[in-house]
Structure 1
Amino acid sequence: MEESEEQKSDSTADRRSCVGESFRLHMVTWNVATADPPDDVSSLLDLSSCKKPDLFVVGLQEVYSGPLRFISDIAFDDPWSQQFMSTLAPQGYFKVSSIRMQGLLLLFFSKMDHVPFIRDIQATYTRTGVFGYWGNKGAVSIRLSFYGHMLCFLNCHLAAHMKYATERVDEFEYILDTQTFDSPNAQRVLDHRLVFWFGDLNFRIQDHGMHFVRSCINDRTFHLLWSKDQLTAMKKKEAILREFHEGPLDFQPTYKFDLNSDTYDSRPYRTWFGFNGKKRKPAWTDRILWRLGPEDTRPEEESDGSSGKSAAGDREFPLMIRQESYASDMAYGISDHKPVTATFTLELKKMYETPLVRLYAEGDWSADMDAMVVYSPLQPFRSSSWDWIGLYKVGFCSVSDYITFTWVKDDEVAFNEELTQLYVSKEEIPVLGGECVLCYYSSTLGCLIGISEPFKVHQSNIALEEGLVTEQINELDKATAS
Structure 2
Amino acid sequence: MSTVTPRNSPLHLVTWNVGTASPPPDVTSLLQLNSVSPTTDMYVIGLQEVNSKITNFLSDLAFDDPWSIFFMTVLSPLGYIKLSSVRMQGLLLLIFVKHVHLPFIRDIHTHYTRTGLYGYWGNKGGVSIRMSLFGHMICFMNCHLPAHIENTEQRLDDFEKILEMQFEGENVPSPLDHEVLFWFGDLNFRIADYGIHFVRESINNKRFSLLWEKDQLNMAKKNEPFLKEFKEGPLQFKPTYKFDLYSEVYDTSEKKRKPAWTDRILWKVKNLSEVASKEGEFPEEENLISVTLNNYVSHMSYGISDHKPVTGTFKLEMKPLVSDPLVTLNPEGEWSAEHDVLIRYSAVPD
TM-score normalized by structure 2? 0.93
Q: Does 1:67 find its partner at 2:54? A: yes
Deviations along 1:229-267, one digit per CA (max 9) or x if unpaired, are 000111122001111000110000000001111110001
Q: What is the CA–CA distance in structure 2 between the aligned matches of 1:368 and 1:79, rounded to whole Å?
A: 31
3-state DSSP class of the match of 1:131? helix
Deviations along 1:325-347, one digit per CA (max 9) or x if unpaired, are 10100010010000000101111
Going from structure 1 to structure 2, the CA distance change for 1:94 and 1:311 (only over 3 Å counts) comes to: farther
Q: Name the counterpart of 1:240.
A: 226
CA contact (8 A) 1:22 1:347 kept: yes
What runs of 5+ residues in structure 2 fail to find an aligned partner? none
Q: Name the counterpart of 1:210.
A: 196
Q: Does 1:193 find its partner at 2:179? A: yes
3-state DSSP class of the match of 1:159? coil
Counterparts of residues 428-467 of structure 1 (less than 5 Å): none
3-state DSSP class of the match of 1:260? coil
1:373 deviates by: 3.9
Q: Name the counterpart of 1:322.
A: 292
Q: Does 1:283 find its partner at 2:253? A: no
3-state DSSP class of the match of 1:43? coil
Going from structure 1 to structure 2, the CA distance change for 1:357 and 1:328 (only over 3 Å counts) comes to: same
Q: Does 1:118 find its partner at 2:105? A: yes
Q: Does 1:128 find its partner at 2:115? A: yes
CA contact (8 A) 1:106 1:141 kept: yes
Q: Name the counterpart of 1:454.
A: none
2:318 equivalent among 333, 339, 348: 348
Q: What is the CA–CA distance in structure 1 between the aligned matches of 2:337 and 2:132, rounded to whole Å?
A: 38
**Number of equivalent positions:** 342
Counterparts of residues 8-27 of structure 1 (less than 5 Å): 20-27=6-13
Q: What is the CA–CA distance in structure 1 between the aligned matches of 2:20 and 2:221, rounded to whole Å?
A: 31
Q: Name the counterpart of 1:263.
A: 249
Q: Does 1:374 find its partner at 2:323? A: no
The one-letter code of the counterpart of 2:263 is D
1:361 deviates by: 3.6
Q: What is the CA–CA distance in structure 1 between the aligned matches of 2:349 and 2:137, rounded to whole Å?
A: 19
1:112 deviates by: 1.2
Q: Does 1:103 find its partner at 2:90? A: yes
Q: What is the CA–CA distance in structure 1 between the aligned matches of 2:228 and 2:245, rounded to whole Å?
A: 35
1:280 deviates by: 0.4
TM-score normalized by structure 1? 0.68
The one-letter code of the counterpart of 2:175 is V
2:301 equivalent among 326, 331, 343: 331
1:368 deviates by: 10
What runs of 5+ residues in structure 1 fail to find an aligned partner? 1-17, 269-277, 299-309, 382-482
1:369 deviates by: 8.9
Q: Name the counterpart of 2:330.
A: 360
3-state DSSP class of the match of 1:198? strand
Going from structure 1 to structure 2, the CA distance change for 1:24 and 1:165 (only over 3 Å counts) comes to: same
Going from structure 1 to structure 2, the CA distance change for 1:228 and 1:115 (only over 3 Å counts) comes to: same
Bigger Rg, structure 1 or 2 = 1
Q: What is the CA–CA distance in structure 1 between the aligned matches of 2:274 and 2:333, rounded to whole Å?
A: 46
CA contact (8 A) 1:95 1:108 kept: yes
Going from structure 1 to structure 2, the CA distance change for 1:69 and 1:370 (only over 3 Å counts) comes to: closer
1:184 deviates by: 2.4
Q: What is the CA–CA distance in structure 2 between the aligned matches of 1:38 and 1:199, rounded to whole Å?
A: 19
Deviations along 1:2-44, one digit per CA (max 9) or x if unpaired, are xxxxxxxxxxxxxxxx961211010000000100111111211
CA contact (8 A) 1:297 1:313 kept: no
1:55 deviates by: 0.8
Q: What is the CA–CA distance in structure 2 between the aligned matches of 1:367 and 1:26, rounded to whole Å?
A: 33
1:195 deviates by: 0.1
